[in-house]
Chain A
């Protein structure tokens, strides 16, 4: 039953993606700015007729509906066109950069959860204690601190002053990593390369902290308030009255019920971490999708923007679906 429902939900993503494709196509073309002019308009030497020829090659001289038709016709075959700037298929560029973005998002999520879950629980249990107040103040700071600022701060302390962790990139070239999946940590494990594993983990730390700080703060606050709420419920009082051990009361009775709102927030955060990492990728020279997207938008590289936005949209849709599926496990009363 659950399998059928999941399949049904997956099928729903097809019209959603179609809508996204049409919208991003139209919005990009409504934005002022001509890709050929941005590419060539300021070039030192431009030959007569060169710009017209480029417009023709990019099909920008065709009427809008023809361009849309060409785009959709290719898209259903899995061909998202080729980037004006890189002269490479969009799907290939995305496939190259996507593992880096996912790896960073997972790193950030892991950091966020490791920090947030104990703090959230502890703060709720010891409500209004010094620990609670300090961690909630810290969480406030985490939510309000811009990631680029935190990133530069981390670089100054841990890279420039202490020289513990690297500033840029994903791995040292000298680690000699054999790339299999594009996820460097995983690849290091798969190929049994310890040097590469250490190097890729070291590179992952600072960007994950910079990106995950906001998530940690958000999750900690939500978890704390839902825990406070559920610790007041009758079943908790009953459990305590029965003489159940306090740890058990907190973890089994209170936490499980506090997880529903938390999982919702984490689900949204997954989307945010995957799609909102442009700045962190820029600061840490992390070769991911966000950097590609920013460049593509400023240079009006239409096919590339379309491709990247579709990936982002798909991420959000899938993250939401995953959250809904998780609900059914946490609370069997909920169905898809």
Chain B
């Protein structure tokens, strides 16, 4: 009897211990996506402020800004990295000749003027009186040295001689010539319409300092630039600490306020786990976080100490269908898929509405998006009719092969196709490194994914997505639908060298019409970038290319 009572007592105690744990867990794990159908964001709106925090009277100096980044910073060498996170940190320490505004316009930063002398030569005049963090003046020598180091083969000597990772971003640059101490000329191998856009991604380093510390190894241990913040200390996988550079020349004239930064200190913390990133913000440990999942936004908005902001994203999402395989070799089937999926519903459920429909191959934010291209309307009858016409009135089965991060989206599409069109669709998850070669080889039926369009220009993007796949080249390197149309190939190549804007519009409009009609993919949406910050962070906002510019940000308390 006593033993039975004991057993019951033990059971109840254990239950009492476990239940709160289970209850609390509900808050931590991915809660079921809230079903909030938001109004469709008009395409012209580039930035939507979700929460308006009452702004304090004026900018305030002082304080430490702590930013939670999604992934490690790979390098502190402006010439030798290729990822966005690294760029975010580097561009708070280093400035370039030009930069970009939040709505994607190229403006002058360290340059006072930029002139296109002939189709292959740009001349830049530098602002006077700019200095690097060690006090050395910025001269044409530094600009030439920076770009020589990037474009010369094997110019980076540490840890083993290799070519700068950023060379590929400015490959058509042939040489840089010094005209006078504050004037440089960039000579291109061929006319290159996106030169100014791409130049935003290159930052200037000091020649004299670089040589005095014995080259790359010494330089990355203590980098020196001409940006708003100077390097103090840091470890790439942990945190990077910067302090305000008081003699900063001020930055781009078109991006006010011009002058030294407001915050005394900036710390970038690497917090890869997203629930920890959100928790760190809630706990007041960081001031700004990036990569906020949309399902958590309502929870953050309910906290008066926090604010959430969004902006146009740069990653069009689609489901690519292998046009060389049955049943997707029939254009009617591909169009039927586009008619048969309620993309607005998926956008509302998976992204809680934080995204914009993708009408065709180009993001509506792309500078060359054709406004006449409208998304396929949701029309199940039409989809069924097309399937019948193609001889699939009884449906068919297929597999969507995806990497783990696209699983949820793929499941949603599969669910739509099952319910609306009666197709037998299943989803299989792979390690991306294993799946990608199979997709390029045309061995799979369909995949769901996205492709970056951060230059907002079709060059590079269309070449990867809709040009015929040419092994060993950059053409079709992301063409998972095996799409191949000689006319499109021809137009993609023509667009790469055409400098006349009107003609480029013509070229890209034609590509967009053809691809929309032939529908090698189910066009989905462009998710917005969502970032969150403490309520006292002022004049802050995410930018479409994911960069966090802290020069203009201040803390109100």
Contact = CB atoms under 8 A, between A and B. Distances in A.
Nearest to A46: B474
Contacts of B64: 174
A51 B165 CA distance: 11
Interface size class of A (residues with CB under 8 A): 35 or more
Interface centre among B28, B198, B455 (most CB of A within 10 A): B28
Contacts of B184: none
Given A37-B437, A45-B168, A152-B275, A166 B283 contact: yes
B259 interface: no
Contact of B269 (A34, A42, A169, A292): A169
Interface in B440-487: 451-455, 460-461, 472-474, 477-478
Contacts of A12: none
B88 interface: no
Contacts of B72: 295
Interface stretch (A85-93, A185-193, A222-230, A247-255): A85-93
Interface residues of B, number: 74
B162 interface: yes
Interface string A93-108: 0001100100000000
B238 A169 contact: yes
A334 interface: no
B269 A39 contact: no
A163 interface: yes
A283 B273 contact: yes
B276 A285 contact: yes
A7 interface: no
Interface in A29-68: 31-34, 37-48, 50-53, 57
A160 B239 contact: no
A156 B27 CA distance: 9
B282 interface: yes
B236 interface: yes
A289 B77 CA distance: 23
Given A97-B237, A152-B28, A47 B168 contact: yes
Where chain A touches its partner, the secondary structure class is: helix
B63 interface: no
A244 interface: no
Interface stretch (B13-21, B386-394, B505-513): B13-21
Given A37-B437, A40-B82, A130 B272 contact: no
Contacts of B477: 41, 46
A82 B431 CA distance: 24
Nearest to A53: B163
A284 interface: yes
A141 B17 contact: yes
B45 interface: no
B433 A137 contact: no
A167 B74 CA distance: 23
B455 A32 contact: no
Contact of A168 (B74, B285, B434): B285
Contacts of A43: 82, 168
Interface centre among B18, B431, B451 (most CB of A within 10 A): B431
Contact of A82 (B6, B17, B159, B269): B159
A97 B237 CA distance: 8
Given A87-B162, A138-B17, A287-B238, 15 more contacts: A43-B82, A86-B75, A87-B156, A97-B237, A137-B10, A155-B28, A155-B275, A160-B282, A163-B284, A166-B283, A168-B276, A168-B286, A170-B238, A285-B280, A298-B431
In the complex, the 10 A-B pairs of residues with the closest C-beta atoms, listed nearest first: A33-B433, A47-B171, A287-B238, A47-B168, A152-B28, A82-B159, A50-B168, A167-B280, A32-B434, A159-B283
Interface of A: 31-34, 37-48, 50-53, 57, 82, 85-89, 96-97, 100, 130, 133-134, 137-138, 141, 149, 152-153, 155-157, 159-160, 163, 166-170, 173-174, 282-285, 287, 291-292, 295, 298, 300
25 contacts: A31-B434, A33-B434, A38-B433, A40-B168, A41-B478, A42-B451, A44-B454, A44-B461, A50-B168, A52-B472, A57-B162, A100-B238, A130-B9, A134-B10, A138-B17, A152-B28, A155-B279, A156-B28, A166-B285, A167-B283, A168-B271, A285-B272, A285-B273, A295-B71, A300-B433
